[in-house]
Structure 1
């Protein structure tokens, strides 16, 4: 479906063009058109699967415990990784089962901060593995007709720590990252939605998700030693703006860590591209002067980023340990090749 040809067709006032069991939805026209193809024939089947999956998840994690885990997610994880809408905070009943399960995987690490969960011994490592398998199974079912929830659950699972820190499953991480990028492309996250005919909140959500997907792609590549899957030539959103945070209804100060981490991830991507792509590694392996000439500006970028962090921090500022711990990642990756 060529978007430049499709823009010549007549769309109704809602930007839609029905065609048998399909609907073409125009997000934006003009010189850079974007359309989505919506399939209707699986709606009832998907709704039935959705309810079955919700019942299955309730057997793994009861709704009352799930509500506590969701509160922990919004308290500790959402400010750094705003995958879900910021305001109002979603409830257990409002989120899809796959997103909920992925939230639980992340929030279990913070159960000691809940008065009830801190004394519970039910949620052991085996429970976390069951939740991971549940999310993967849901994503497999949605591959043919993904939604933004599919991207959110895959992204949350990508951000989750490994089951075994000493022997992380790099194959699984790379496979999940590949699925995440594929789902994101299917949902149009490679485009900049600034001119789309959607609400400001939806634009901000899409831009945040685009940055998070790009950021995850960079860090998975750095950790696994494999090339990034996303080409910046085909990804139009690489940084977030103040509007992307404000439109979500969040406190900009509380979200500063997310903005800073996106900036650091951009530098990491430059390091991977200029020092560790296959062509760069082959060229630089026998050329120390050129290696140093490329590494020096990257070192200065990381140093400038860290200086800006120190200047921006306030004595009573929110916890920013995730930034402090993440800062050595750039220099470590850079020095691998020097």
Structure 2
């Protein structure tokens, strides 16, 4: 009898480990004391009973909308039919669970990467004794986990207070959308997830299906918030009253503030999902997300980490999503990017890093295609790497202060332009704008828009260097014609958007990317040298505005650019009463962009020495890489460019 009791005690955690919610480890296995009690010179006791399962709370009729009471005693309980109980522990997980041996996806644990300059050192950490789970319990009770020979993280169990707070928040979130939680999850994985695959669908659904208390409050709220944008895409929801999304949006920042000491990968996923709302991009939040990413070690190569294969693949996808957010966030906010090449060691993603395939496509009308979304995501990553090079070459503080000749600027721009052209030419047929399937949404629109924005960003840098009276007129004509071709191509792209594109997922930068196209057109209008050229850009901008006005009924984020153009000097002022004749700008070389109503950085500020341009070499090279794809039918300076473009330029090398 005593032997059976002793065996039973060894198979469950002692009171001290149970209070700390950590694994009760005995080294050696037949030891009377666990590692924690040995380190504290205490006896292992088994007096306390295991915590009771929480009973399902009954829904309440009244709800206090005061934000200060969101986690108080009157927070709403869920009514969606999902059991409200404590999260499953490791020994309660089914044998097929994906959560066994996971590093960062258990609700009761958070991790913190141990960097090379901390109080720890890899050479000393290698001397620690690790158990079969690669964990070491220190004398202070802290847990260190070894993920490969030289990489370690500290594991922090949640306190009871934190767990209780999470459950109250989760019940509040579920109560806001009840009884529609499951339907919103279905919408998210039908429409958003295929194009933005930063969650692991099976892991999320395993947790949610067993008990939504196993999810983090941030992740559950973010999924609901974004899914509510497609409320009408569920035939079961379209006639019902839509939950108050503002209530969730106001709660979300409080949730993020609550977890800053104990972030999990799922909190990072939640922040990225929340930022994909048309008005969700925040540079301050981006800084918080970057800190989270580094805390959980996403900037590291995890290829040889002792983790489940699905988790390594998810970490790679999530890391590159952070990279995309950082670089495009830097562009649209006009800030320095946070990620630098020397501190980024993440391998490229491949098809094997995406667990879903075409077989997982949802047959319901209005769903997104899984494989197309995967290819879009991979190509957005490679495009973002080119954008990063453009930002580093032309838009760092150092680059903006440099006195660089037009020849040097063109020399830097040429390889980047070729990379952009190569990227575009290598897009698979499935990503052609015209390639849509009946009753399926297509997110190719935001990828093509990002490409045009990257092209225009490069051309803004080129025009900035050339926009001085001393620049050779032929060089000016060629570069302006190239810019004109890019601008008109971007407008043609917007005109070709179909309802399948407009109603689908657009990543966070799309709203400002559209506005950047409008700003570029306004710059070209403002710096036009003839009335004919000025009228041309005004007409193009009017068409652009009209197209966006029509499309904005299906894609509301486009209204931002419409309003911006309405307020621009192009339309807000009567052209016949402009006090400044831009054709006389050579006599106004000391006039600043602000004096002329131009956006900052649009030119007229720097004087470049063009004496080095004593031959046609740079004109020929620039026209070659800029005009290989100029559409026919454009008149003006583009004819000059076409006439001097070597026909075999793109076929060489």
Structures share fold, TM-score greater than 0.5:
yes
State the match for 2:351 in structure 1. 242
In 1, are the aligned partners of 2:136 and 2:145 still within 8 Å (CA)?
Answer: yes
Mapping of 1:30-49 within 5 angstroms?
33-40=150-157, 42-49=158-165
Determine if the alignment matches structure 1 residue 331 to structure 2 residue 455.
yes
State the match for 2:128 in structure 1. 9
Whole-angstrom distance in 2 between the partners of 1:132 and 1:250: 32
Aligned equivalent of 2:324, options 197, 208, 215? 215
State the match for 1:188 in structure 2. 297
Mapping of 1:71-220 within 5 angstroms?
71-87=186-202, 90=205, 91=208, 93=212, 95-123=215-243, 127-162=244-279, 173-220=282-329
In 2, are the aligned partners of 1:238 and 1:266 still within 8 Å (CA)?
Answer: no
Whole-angstrom distance in 2 between the partners of 1:50 and 1:303: 49
Per-residue deviation at 1:38? 1.5
Aligned equivalent of 1:224, options 329, 333, 342? 333
State the match for 1:268 in structure 2. 387
Per-residue deviation at 1:287? 2.5
Per-residue deviation at 1:27? 0.7
Per-residue deviation at 1:121? 4.9
Does the residue aligned with 2:131 lie in a helix, a strand or coil? coil
Mapping of 1:57-68 within 5 angstroms?
57-62=173-178, 64-68=179-183
**Higher share in helix:** 1
The higher radius of gyration belongs to 2
Q: What do you get for the CA RMSD once the two structures are aligned?
A: 2.2
Aligned equivalent of 2:143, options 23, 30, 47? 23
TM-score (norm 2): 0.46
Determine if the alignment matches structure 1 residue 309 to structure 2 residue 424.
no
Task: Give the direction of change, closer, same or farther, for the CA distance of 1:216–1:238 in structure 2 (3 Å limit).
Answer: farther
Determine if the alignment matches structure 1 residue 56 to structure 2 residue 176.
no
State the match for 2:494 in structure 1. none
Aligned equivalent of 2:445, options 321, 325, 328? 321
TM-score (norm 1): 0.87
In 1, are the aligned partners of 2:231 and 2:242 still within 8 Å (CA)?
Answer: no
The runs of 5 or more residues in structure 2 that have no matched partner are: 1-119, 359-369, 463-653
Which aligned segments of 4 or more residues in structure 1 are displaced greater than 6 angstroms? none
The runs of 5 or more residues in structure 1 that have no matched partner are: 164-169
In 2, are the aligned partners of 1:98 and 1:134 still within 8 Å (CA)?
Answer: no
Task: Indicate the larger mover: 13-22 or 181-190.
Answer: 13-22
- Higher relative contact order structure (alpha carbons within 8 Å, sequence separation ≥ 6): 1
